[in-house]
Amino acid sequence: MAAPLNLTVQLTEQQLSFRWEALEEEQLNGVLWGYRVQWELGGKSQELQFRENKANLSSEGQFFNASFRVSACTAVGCGPWSPPVMVLPAQAPRPRAQRGHGWVALLVAVLTAVMLGLLIAMLIRRREKETQFGAVFDDVSHRAEPTVSFTAARSFNRQGPEITESTLDCLGISDELKTKLEDVLIAQRLLTLGHMLGKGEFGSVREAHMKMEDGSVQKVAVKVLKSDISSSCDVEQCLREAAYMKEFHHPNVIQLIGVSLQRRPQQRLPVPMVILPFMKHGDLHTFLLMSRMGGQPFALSLQTLVQFMLDIARGMEYLSSKNFIHRDLAARNCMLNEDMTVCVADFGLSKKIYSGDYYRQGSASKLPVKWIALESLADNIYTTQSDVWAFGVTMWEIMTRGQTPYPGVENSEIYEYLIKGGRLKQPPGCLDDIYNIMYSCWSPNPKGRPAFQQLIEQLEGVGAGLPLGRGEEELLYVNLAEGGEQEGQAGAAPWQRGEEDWPLMPAGAAGATGGDYRYIIGPRNTTEDYSRVGPSGPPPQQEEEEEDAVVDV
């Protein structure tokens, strides 16, 4: 394989552009995958990959005295490096004579005065904008929160095309992905970030306010990629997730509002921020957990639980019809909307099926072992049928009100447990019909599992056969605080009693609370605090039931 030749460099104040001659087919050892660009500066080397025979990097003077070289890459590997090219700062010519000092001083004075005037004008203008924006927020904070209806793929005063194009080029983003993102890129200046709602391996979720085209301000949730990203591949993964979500239009699948690229000082790569609708009741797992372990437990009828399952099944059926594999379906990745509708969310692990009907995990990554299908654990193969397996585990989470699957079984023991025929046990109070549905999702043969459309029909049949009255299990969640509840509301959930600010926090738990959105971080201990039921503790006949409700998470 030959090395690329004729590497040329053009350096400006904002950008470093360089090109090289593309290799012919007879010069390659296989099909060309792209080019690897490496540069050394101060004894340290960095490299990026580009698909074409050109590259653009954000400069800002950081590439002076850097040495660049390029190599071509195919399926076999990467070829030899090109001859290195050194980037040197331009040298200003020395003055030939020491004259005209008076004119030079006058010119410097005029330029200084002009620059000071422009700076003062910019500061005044910026102050006016901040005052207007603050007035809008002050107005919002003193009135009832409006009901927001979001439409995906809508433009909100997008960033300037020249800024976005330059940023995406520096990241090596493909033209196909840039086309998908051009209608959803939102300027960072339109967002005001608030407190953190939750965080995970991929990043964090923050409450935010976004200024709309008509001047109004709406509350949103912003998913921020971790700031310690080390390569453009991490940024591209988040942007690709946003492009996937742009195509979703279903009431049980969370819709994308937009994506913004946040630039930070002393950081070469921008941080992607995915903007999503604000879900008032948070994630389903926390909601289920708080129904049992919160400071104010509340009842969830069997009809409500089955409706949760139906919402998830309908969302997953829609995704499978779009040839998408979720790969991380769980109660923690399902969100509850204002009207208690469940939306499937978090596609950080999802992949589109471009060819065939499966996706093979090729790189090492942390995967949710207790939700992964048997064949996925064995061969790293993911299909829609493996999503069906995860749906069965999610059904079990719902019926147990947020318990951790396979209690007592370590992650390292899951595969051996499943290969020997072990499965999740039928939860107490779970109807045989419901358990049979979730058990069918765990067939060792992927083709023996039901499709999501079939699961929808089965759950609809179960829901139609349920009585309209309250089940006995609801009596376990009656709030027995001193003074009791009003007649007819003892087992009702806080949102059913009209409470706008109800505590979603278990006794002894550490959590983040703000507004109407709560995220549980984890209990500090596994003993229930019975102080809320009176000094004598719970009645003897209820003590065993209360202890069963405690889960070690």
Claim to verify: residue 221 and residue 260 sit in the same structural domain: yes
Which residue has better confidence, 196 or 446?
446
State yes or no: pLDDT of 527 exceeds 70. no
Claim to verify: residue 489 and residue 428 sit in the same structural domain: no
Residue 498 lies in a domain: yes
Model confidence pLDDT, tens digit, residues 115-156:
888 888 888 876 655 444 343 333 433 333 433 334 433 334
Claim to verify: residue 328 and residue 454 sit in the same structural domain: yes
Distance separating alpha carbons of residues 256 and 274, to the nearest angstrom: 8
Residue 287 lies in a domain: no
Residue 115 lies in a domain: no
Residue 350 lies in a domain: yes
Using a pLDDT cut of 70, give the percent of the chain over it: 65
Q: Which of 59-68, 154-163, 186-195, 364-373 has the highest mean pLDDT?
A: 186-195
Q: Around Cβ 404, how many Cβ atoms within 10 Å?
A: 15
Which residue has better confidence, 520 or 345?
345
CATH number of the domain enclosing 374: 1.10.510.10
pLDDT at 158: 45
SS3 61: coil
Q: Which of 212-221, 290-299, 403-412, 469-478 has the highest mean pLDDT?
A: 403-412
Claim to verify: residue 451 and residue 378 sit in the same structural domain: yes
pTM for the full predicted model: 0.56
Claim to verify: residue 490 and residue 455 sit in the same structural domain: no
Which residue has better confidence, 337 or 506?
337
Residue 128 lies in a domain: no
328 flagged as catalytic: yes
Q: Which H or E run includes 163?
A: helix 161-171
HEC assignment per residue over 439-459: HHCCCCCHHHCCCHHHHHHHH
CATH number of the domain enclosing 82: 2.60.40.10
Claim to verify: residue 460 and residue 477 sit in the same structural domain: no
Claim to verify: residue 270 and residue 310 sit in the same structural domain: no
Locate tokens 């990745």: which residue? Answer: 333
Model confidence pLDDT, tens digit, residues 69-116:
888 887 777 888 888 887 776 554 444 444 556 778 888 888 899 988
Claim to verify: residue 455 and residue 427 sit in the same structural domain: yes
Claim to verify: residue 476 and residue 456 sit in the same structural domain: no
The residue among 437, 464, 491 that closes a domain is 464
State yes or no: pLDDT of 376 exceeds 60. yes
Question: Do residues 12 and 59 touch, judged by C-beta distance below 8 A?
Answer: yes
The residue among 464, 494, 524 that closes a domain is 464
pLDDT at 435: 98
Residue 123 lies in a domain: no
Split at pLDDT 50, 70, 90, the class of 252 is very high
Model confidence pLDDT, tens digit, residues 450-506:
999 999 999 999 999 998 754 434 434 433 333 334 334 444 555 555 444 444 333
Query: Listing from the earlier edge strand, what are the strands of the sheet with 54-58?
Result: 8-11, 15-19, 54-58
pLDDT at 89: 65
Claim to verify: residue 455 and residue 483 sit in the same structural domain: no
State yes or no: pLDDT of 308 exceeds 90. yes
Q: Are strands 54-58 and 15-19 parallel, antiparallel or unpaired?
A: antiparallel
State yes or no: pLDDT of 427 exceeds 50. yes
Split at pLDDT 50, 70, 90, the class of 227 is low
Model confidence pLDDT, tens digit, residues 262-287:
776 666 677 778 888 888 888 999 99
What are the backbone dihedrals phi and psi of residue 220, each rounded to the nearest 5 degrees, phi first? -135, 170
Domain membership of residue 231 as a residue range: 161-277
Distance separating alpha carbons of residues 20 and 6, to the nearest angstrom: 5
Distance separating alpha carbons of residues 542 and 534, to the nearest angstrom: 14
Residue 411 lies in a domain: yes
pLDDT at 169: 65
Claim to verify: residue 452 and residue 384 sit in the same structural domain: yes
The total domain count for the chain is: 4
Claim to verify: residue 454 and residue 544 sit in the same structural domain: no
User: Mean pLDDT throughout 524-536?
Assistant: 32
Please give the annotated binding residues for ATP, written as ranges.
Answer: 223
State yes or no: pLDDT of 181 exceeds 80. no
Strand partners, 367: none
Distance separating alpha carbons of residues 519 and 409, to the nearest angstrom: 26
Please give the annotated binding residues, written as ranges.
Answer: 223
What are the backbone dihedrals phi and psi of residue 74, each rounded to the nearest 5 degrees, phi first? -125, -175
Q: Which of 67-76, 178-187, 527-536 has the lowest mean pLDDT?
A: 527-536
Which residue has better confidence, 104 or 313?
313
Residue 294 lies in a domain: no
Q: Which of 47-51, 495-499, 507-511 has the lowest mean pLDDT?
A: 507-511
State yes or no: pLDDT of 379 exceeds 50. yes
Catalytic residue among 234, 283, 328, 387: 328
CATH number of the domain enclosing 209: 3.30.200.20
Q: pLDDT averaged over the chain?
A: 72
The residue among 464, 485, 500 that closes a domain is 464
